[in-house]
Chains A and B, each alone.
Chain A
Amino acid sequence: MTLIRRPHIVLLAMLLPIGAPAFAATAAQYAAARQAILNHYAAEAKKADPNFKGFSAAAGKAFFLAHPATARKATPSCSTCHTTNTHNWGRTRAGKRIAPVAVSVTPSRFTSLSKVRLWFRRNCQTVYRRACTAVEKGNYITFMASQ
């Protein structure tokens, strides 16, 4: 009865064999897009420091959890809104939910350079009151990709 009343369920089920591979394909595309962004920041980091060796997830974690002295009162840390657990949903000061930052939970994270640029620009200014370096950004993405 339920299926008769809701034909879209049947329709979606019929689409599953087509949808599943498409989903796997997007996951691979996401990974590729994320790597491109990491490469972009690695090139920038190398330009600033020829001795740059690579990004560190541990440094990214420390950066994420830090409470910098320069922070604004309402936003002392990245984890203020994102929570200290990267798998959790966060919440903005205005009450809006934020999708988990961990890539394993939100696969589309760090896949659009314009979005990544926008949010690093905004949130670095908000928490650190300065622009972040390419190394810091790369560490951050590397940490989230490992989560």
Chain B
Amino acid sequence: MNDGNVAPHLIPWRTGRAGSVRVWDAAVRGFHWLLAGSVLGAAYTGFFMKRLALQTHLLLGIAVALLVLFRLVWGLCGPTYARFASFAHPPRALGAHLRALAAGRGDRHLGHNPLGALMVFALLLVLAALVFTGAGALGGVLKQGPLAAFMSYAAGRGVLLVHGGLTILLLAMIALHLGGVAFESRRSGENLVRAMVTGDKPVLPAAHRAAPARPRPVLAAAALAAGGLLGGAMVAALSALPARGMPPARLDRHYVNNCDSCHMAYPPSLASAATWRGIMTNLTHHFGEDASLGRRATARITAYLTANSTGHWDSLPAHLLRAANPADPLRITATAGWRRMHRHIAVAVFRAKAVRSRAACSACHADAKTGRFAPQNIHIPQTAMP
């Protein structure tokens, strides 16, 4: 590790300016700032915009996953200071570094010092965990993505909590990381933030250098392409599996023919069996209108609705709308779950001409007829916005 014998000008791929040495290559710098931007964007959309920016959040999460994958490869095939070998300090070195700092005489490291290296590995680990818990929550709660076939709603909810907890941990680590950069910059008298922008650090004596390593960009590109292709194919194949506990998108034809003349045929997975039975036995007084059917049609549709009601499915709407409102048991829009999900929607939106009614799910949910209600499919008509 400590190899002060190789002068910077003897390292053939060194491109640092005069009097300085190139420590962070363009790929590491690009990785660092892209990762910082993606993580901040993902944290912001995740905490503050939630389902309104889910698609952006997912894209940022995919970006984080690809960046971490790249860093793993570059840590094995990159130039000197990009390599894990250059900063995989043994625990002994960490102890020595801390003791030296406490004594007020720390060494200068050209690459990551033992404490910084620990943070780098910890950050990569937490980021990878965030990607996996994110995919788990997406699969369980929304029944989307590669884990939709394996995760139950309840498990997805649990994993989502872990995902949020990990984000708070990550933000704390980022704060520590920034504190560490400020502390080291002050202690060593060099601007570490600028070094991560330009890539160069001044050539100063007594620095820990790593044994020079030649970058292998072709090997890295091949490994990334192979890993990306394999990973992408796996994600695609897993995503194509039928989601666990999702109601079928196609509804019973007889039910649709009879009920969607007046209103959208509400997927049976949106109401409890008790609610459906209540509705079907009161069709002569159906929300202020007579919607009576023949005896046979009534029996057949009742059987279909109750056999496919909330209790039979594991989708997000089926869980949210499970408990009827005792004060208004036949109305899906009266349930606590429905009201919570729509609490930020102004009354004017429901009254607008393009919507007309709380019962017109498909005015804003493009996939309402399938019972899925994916956040990405919410489009409130512009003309309905107050």
Contacts and interface: CB of A to CB of B under 8 A. Distances in A.
Are A and B bound to each other?
yes
Contacts of A96: 260-264, 360
Chain B interface main SS type: loop
Nearest to B261: A96
Interface in B311-358: 355-357
Interface stretch (A18-26, A51-59, A87-95): A87-95
Nearest to B350: A95
A104 to B, nearest CB: 21
Contacts of A75: 288-289
A94 B292 contact: no
A74 interface: yes
A42 to B, nearest CB: 24
A123 B286 CA distance: 12
Contacts, number: 53
B288 A94 contact: no
A123 B262 CA distance: 12
B352 to A, nearest CB: 10
Interface in B277-333: 284, 287-294
* Band of interface residues on A: 10 to 19
A122 B297 CA distance: 15
A75 B262 CA distance: 13
Contact of A92 (B263, B355, B363): B263
Most B CB within 10 A of own CB, among A73, A91, A93, A98: A93
A95 B293 CA distance: 21
A95 B289 contact: no
Contacts of A98: 261
Interface in B233-285: 260-264, 284
Interface string A6-34: 00000000000000000000000000000
A122 B356 contact: no
Contact of B262 (A72, A74, A92, A121): A92
A113 B307 CA distance: 31
Contact of B288 (A93, A95, A123): A93
A18 to B, nearest CB: 28
A44 B294 CA distance: 21
Contacts of B264: 94, 96
A93 B290 CA distance: 13
Given A75-B289, A91-B356, A125 B263 contact: no
B379 to A, nearest CB: 15
A122 B262 CA distance: 12
Contacts of B355: 95
A126 B287 CA distance: 11
Interface in A84-140: 91-96, 98, 118, 121-123, 125-126
B359 interface: yes
B131 to A, nearest CB: 40
B284 A94 contact: no
Nearest to A92: B262
Contacts of B262: 92-94, 96
B290 A122 contact: yes
B117 to A, nearest CB: 58
A126 B292 CA distance: 11
B356 A72 contact: no
B363 A95 contact: yes
A91 B360 CA distance: 12
A122 B288 contact: no
Contacts of A121: 290, 292
Nearest to B266: A94
A72 B290 CA distance: 11
B194 to A, nearest CB: 55
B290 A126 contact: yes
Interface of B: 260-264, 284, 287-294, 355-357, 359-360, 363
Interface of A: 72-75, 91-96, 98, 118, 121-123, 125-126
Given A95-B356, A95-B359, 14 more contacts: A73-B288, A74-B289, A92-B261, A94-B263, A95-B357, A95-B360, A96-B261, A96-B262, A98-B261, A118-B293, A121-B290, A122-B289, A125-B290, A126-B290
17 contacts: A74-B288, A92-B261, A92-B263, A93-B288, A93-B289, A94-B262, A94-B263, A94-B359, A95-B356, A95-B359, A95-B360, A96-B260, A96-B261, A96-B264, A122-B290, A125-B284, A126-B288
Please provide the 8 A-B residue pairs with the shortest distance between their CB atoms, ordered closest to farther: A94-B263, A95-B360, A125-B290, A95-B356, A122-B290, A92-B262, A126-B289, A94-B359
